[in-house]
Amino acid sequence: MARKDPQVSRRKFLAGVAVASGATAVPPAQAATAASTSAAPRRPSALPPTMHVAAAETGTPKELPRIGGVPGSDFMVDVIKTLDIKYLPSNPASSFRAIHESLINYGGNKMPEF
């Protein structure tokens, strides 16, 4: 299939794009003066935190109340004991506080040893 010559030459197209982008980048002087006289004072984008927010972020978190009853982690300690797992390694974190407490208090820290 033969190539067709486009209606607009590439050089004229690129020259038109350059002129159009230059014209839109520089606002007219009249629009700039009208916008500056009616513009309200600009508020900062990041406001300083209130006293309540600052205290919540820097203070010590409150202790969560414990749920009554036998925790499911005691059952998990029994399961681990039946599997003959002797040692249980872990990384310190607050997300598995219940299993840690059950291994030490309920399981006596003996097989599995924490």
Average pLDDT of the segment spanning 17-41: 64
E strands along the chain, which residues?
none
Of 11-25, 45-59, 72-86, which has the strongest mean pLDDT?
72-86
More confident residue, 4 or 46: 46
pLDDT at 17: 75
Residue 96 pLDDT greater than 80, yes or no: no
pLDDT value at position 101?
84
Instruction: Give the span between the Cα atoms of 85 and 26, in whole angstroms.
Output: 74
Q: Do residues 113 and 87 lie in contact, with contact meaning Cβ atoms separated by under 8 Å?
A: yes
- What are the backbone angles phi and psi of residue 75, rounded to the nearest 5°? -65, -40
What integer is the mean pLDDT of 29-44? 63
Mean pLDDT of 4-24: 72
